[in-house]
Structure 1
């Protein structure tokens, strides 16, 4: 690992698609932040997350992630948890929209009004589907057979990395939402139908209720901790691929897996715990403002009626 900074920053596998995506996102956020000024903390969060994503995906870090299991898990900690959380805490959506030209915004608005656009928005903000996808894309890539082929096939490997980045952005977009929640309109007549609609239909303007935003990371964190603990304490070489290809640093398979499992267990859990704290702060703020809804009425609805009377 005795590389100069220039060698570290050199892409291990050059990807034009990745370069285009990063440059486009940087351009939209930079222009948007000039047209729609935001505070320094949001700027720092976005650019820090942006840099972390790039360093993890398009430098020689990627080389070591392909040859050392615990570095691979540290890479996915950044791609799936830390960097997406930092980016979404900058609330980049409206800023990047402001960075678009008027024509681009009009085209986006027209697309969002189409049936396909509405369906896409529905599923990409679904409060059950997105958290489930978030956990699924952590666990599925840990199966030894899938891990074996994903590390050998460059297309599967890139899909793996992009899938965890996108699912991370979509998930944290729901959790750090600061807006209040209005319950969805329930149209089902059966009790089962009403139960299902309450748990699947989006609210307005936020998709998840404040309490759901607090509880969701608890449920998504649990399977990752269990998987991390199992990998950390097993004495079996679950991923012989790293031994076959040759580990980039002198470390045994058991040590490699132990450190990788601990990364899934402790730092990843810490990131999700921080997400819980952010969601809890939103819940407390909305509660203090009387904007927590139960049924179809806010908590301070009765209090306001009494005060008015």
Structure 2
């Protein structure tokens, strides 16, 4: 296979803008005395990310970090939509965070910086072309949320929610990484398109028990991120203990990240004959058990979670 070193910086512009927002927020927190200035920088960076995603996405599909025909970053209309949604969600959470930040129990600079880092992970997630990029992007989206959940000073519930979220997410990431490693052992590839083509060209691989285990681990690991039953137990405690704007971000951006990752691997990489039954079972359990358990909740946030 011929190696083609291709880096399209225009395709990376939305990711640059999102990551640059995080850096500028840190500088603003150091140089600007007023907290409103830091929030304004984060909001402006979110708007710039949305605009950059729209401009690059309108120019057609762009590929970068390619090895032959396989690319680790593919930015087209779908990736632009995902990046724009994450930028708008971040902007919305910043707008909701005014009372929380004015209360003085949450450090403004750290809060805005972590939101910008999570936005960066979401932007990269939309254009991920291989399992490693996808998992790293998903963790970049999730890791700042552990801290955001527990960032409120003097709140025991917030600290407990952060620990619960952290432990469950570590288990989910471990399962996903193990599944990716097993997929590499079976197919010798990690690019989403290459995995799908390999399973089409060599259907005998689907008969291997190792393939079934690998696919199940990847799907179940990602199911943790969307709080699908039976991997939902962390959600009520985490949402209830988190500050309200962070809970809103968890219920939208974090869930969106899990859904985007699931759609990417199911549609492009994993065989539907294996993923279909697993996803059907998860969907039935989530719709049935999740709603029945919600009837027993007395707090609105837990009911929604």
Q: Give the TM-score taking structure 1 as reference length.
A: 0.31
Structure number with bigger Rg: 1
Q: Which structure exhibits the higher relative contact order, with contacts defined as CA atoms closer than 8 Å and separated by 6 or more residues? A: 1
Q: Give the TM-score taking structure 2 as reference length.
A: 0.32
